[in-house]
A and B are shown apart, each in its own frame.
Chain A
Amino acid sequence: MKILVAVKRVIDYNVQVRVKEDGTGVVTDNVKMSTNPPDDNAVEEAVKIKESGKAKEIVAVTVGEDKAQETVRKALAVGADRGIHVKVDGTVEPLAVSKILQKIVDKEKPDLIFMGKQAIDDDCNQTGQMLAALLNWPQATFASKIEVKEKSLEVIREVDEGLETIEVNIPAIVTCDLRLNEPRYASLPNIMKAKKKPVEQINASDLGVDTKQRIEQIKVEEPPKRKAGIKVASVEELVQKLKNEAKVI
């Protein structure tokens, strides 16, 4: 079995994001970038499945500018076998990303595709479902447990009401939740080894996918700031304030 894992480079989740003064976006210069956190879970799950003997090969793929390759290298350092970097500059919307991934799937013919359920930059939560639609594959989104069976996966999904279990036929797409597993850290020797693993470079334009933006970003602004609050000295004061000042209890 072959697993394709899609990873995205985003502003690190610990960074306090700042809006650019001219309203064209957020500040990314000299800001720490990392792999989108649930994409790390996707890589980890693929590696665990390979370690269990149920998968033979893991291919990590990313779509983005030159530096996006770092996320592929990181996936290689924790156990992916080879990488694909589809180069494209500027914003690529989930629809275009899923069309690019569709081309990669046509070529690679994986049995499973894993990725994070959502990217923490645009918070779109679309790519996995869109790719599933384009391929006419089943989708298991927000996965917190995956069991690999002969010709299917049994997946537990985190939904608003609690947990849902579904069975999807292979080939399938799974989008991973943060609780799926605990992503491992790459050891230094493995980071060195990863540098020797092959990463194929492809230009998005060579795949014949139109990546033109369909959504115009008119402006980006800071959300309204909350008024500074106060510290109360005691529980009694807190309850009095809630009762008589805020009038919420």
Chain B
Amino acid sequence: MSYFFQLVISGVVVGSIYALSALGFVLIYKSSRVLNIAHGQIIAAGAFITYGLTVWANLPIYLSFVLSMILTFFLAMSVERIFLRRLIGEPIISVIMVTIGLMSILDGLIYLTPFGTENFSFPPFLPVTPIAFFGVSISWTQLVGVIVTFTLIAGFSWFFKKSTVGISMRAVSDDQLASMSIGISVPRVFGLAWAMAGLSAAAAGGIIGNITGLNFDTLHAFGIVVFPVVILGGLDSILGAVVAGIIMGLIQQFASGYLDGNWGLNGTGEVLPYIILLIILLFKPHGLFGIHEIERV
């Protein structure tokens, strides 16, 4: 039984990070209908910036975590301003091609730095002995990571529900013409959506980096698992991203915990998200919480 709870805990840890990564992706899609293929690269960039500030600039890790979020906020905002702004009104396929190009450029830039090929790990700043209770253990980095993740998700939800900027973002995702006519600047909202996505991606990157170590492939993989997560949750639902993120984390952990090694199976945790992706697309293409577009004639 304690094995089961151990899997639940690691599932929730990984799942909450998926949720945070998916949040940024959904944010961009929800406001501007752009699929940001380069999201994984932004997550990785956030993680590397955090590392650089902590180790090379010798800043306290909490400070560099926040600084990296701020830097990525502006980085993503300028990406929108420079590349995506001029594509407003262009066909969706051109926009996707641009984000694919963006992915390659960021990949190339990251491979120019030592982070592209080498592995790094954050200096330990929390107690290394895991906390154990009832035969289940959780490491301090995991615990702090989960707490930070849930705090950020709660903060984002509050922001969208209550703040004026958040409300104008939701207005834009509902009806752009109407939003413009009541005095909301739609390009500004797009820029902010990217900026917030960058900020959440950097946070996710920093947390992943602390839990699993800094490896470009691992970080990049988080950007890809985002796809099954958002498809499961519904592309335009923030709640969906959070719920589906955690579901996906649990499914992965249970799969690798119970299936791997039996019946000659291996690596089920890596494959299962994509099998779910296909099943969801076949039977419930709007996901769990996505909006069904019903057109009345």
* Same complex: no
Binding site for B on A (CB under 8 A): none
Binding site for A on B (CB under 8 A): none
